[in-house]
Amino acid sequence: MRNAAFRALFSTIALIILTGAAASVYASTISGTIYDSKRNGLPYVAVELQNSNYVMMQHATTDGVGRYTFDGLADGTYYVKVMPFRYDMDEQTQEVIISTISAVTGSGGSAYMIQDFYLTPRKGTIAAAQAEVVVAQEVPKAAKEKYEEAAKLLKKGKTDEAVPLLEGAIKDFPAYFYANDALGQIYFHKNDFEHAAPRLLTASQTYDKSPMTLYMLGVSLGHLNYLPASLIALNSAANLAPESSMVHLALGKTYLSTKDYKAAETSLLNAKKFAKTPSAEVYQLLARVYKATKQYSKAAASLESMLKNGNYSDDAKSSLKKEIQEYKAKAVANNEKPNND
């Protein structure tokens, strides 16, 4: 009985040791921060981890200060691909090699690999135009000090702590562009458009050449259903950044809400044209435009492009294929010619 108990205990210990050894092979991490050209961390950036065959393994979105992390990785060659859709910056892919196997023991270990990215704006985009924005104001000392302290906190990702300082700066100097803009952007990224819009409106009234301010104002007004005002702000942003995919996408969505399908199609095609890798949303919205205008062949072609250019779950693929077949059937019923775009 004692020997049986010992064997059972030994088996349990051996299993724990072996499991731990196996886990150590997959204990490595790749992490880093996505920066713009001014070394500001970029939140809400899509990041993919790909294997040596460029097949996506994991997907992440950067946090409030631009950080991303991929855990549980074995030794091997990986590619980290950054897709800054909302920032109109160039995509980047970097190779990361993890090699922790010991020549002595032959077993794997763990590693913490850091891979940062410094993105550059594409010419004609909102990021390129925004880099040229310099607003000169005579700001009271108290307001300036509060703003500068808030800016330091924002760089550390301490958004909630920055808010009262920005509010204090605005109280001291209501027309303070940078304070209004920063506070508006904080609310915008929280999807609190009701509070974002007034701050962004004040900032744009103070300085009307900031494309990012106008873009966020336009999107905020659109969410609040002030569609004519939204279009004014977004078209102003498009004039300043004519090759901005994100601005044209927002215009397309707003025109679609007003049922101006011709303008929506033009804006969405521009969004597709200027995006290095068009987002799934562009294809989906174009399909909605073509469905509304009974151009079912084009709707099917748009969703086929979406399916071809994205990674989707089996359920999502099945749903898309079903929708494509429905559009093709309607196209046949309407005697439409197949669309090969």
Provide the 3-class DSSP secondary structure of residue 50.
strand
Q: What is the pLDDT of residue 111?
A: 87
Measured between alpha carbons, how far is residue 271 from residues 79, 89, 249, 277, 296 in Å?
A: 27, 14, 5, 10, 21
Q: What is the pLDDT of residue 10?
A: 46
Measured between alpha carbons, how far is residue 69 from residues 31, 144, 332 in Å?
A: 4, 35, 48
Measured between alpha carbons, how far is residue 193 from residues 224, 226, 237, 251 in Å?
A: 7, 12, 18, 17
Q: What is the pLDDT of residue 289?
A: 97
CATH class of 129-278: mainly alpha
Is 271:248 a contact under the CB 8 Å cutoff?
yes
Q: What is the pLDDT of residue 121?
A: 81
Cα angle, residue 76 at apex, residues 42 and 110 outer, rounded to 5°:
80
Segments making up each domain of the chain, as ranges: 27-120, 129-278
Find all residues with CB under 8 Å of 116, minimum gap 6, and list them. 32, 33, 34, 35
Tens digits of pLDDT across the chain (341 residues):
455 554 544 444 444 444 444 444 467 899 999 998 778 888 889 999 999 888 889 999 999 889 999 998 988 999 999 988 777 788 899 999 998 865 445 555 688 999 999 988 877 777 777 777 888 999 999 999 999 999 999 888 889 999 999 999 999 999 999 999 999 999 999 999 999 999 999 999 999 999 999 999 999 999 999 999 999 999 999 999 999 999 999 999 999 999 999 999 999 999 999 887 788 899 999 999 999 999 999 999 999 999 888 777 888 889 999 999 999 999 999 888 777 55
Backbone angles phi, psi at 88, to 5 degrees: 55, 40
- Superfamily for domain range 27-120: Carboxypeptidase-like, regulatory domain (2.60.40.1120)
Is 312:320 a contact under the CB 8 Å cutoff?
yes
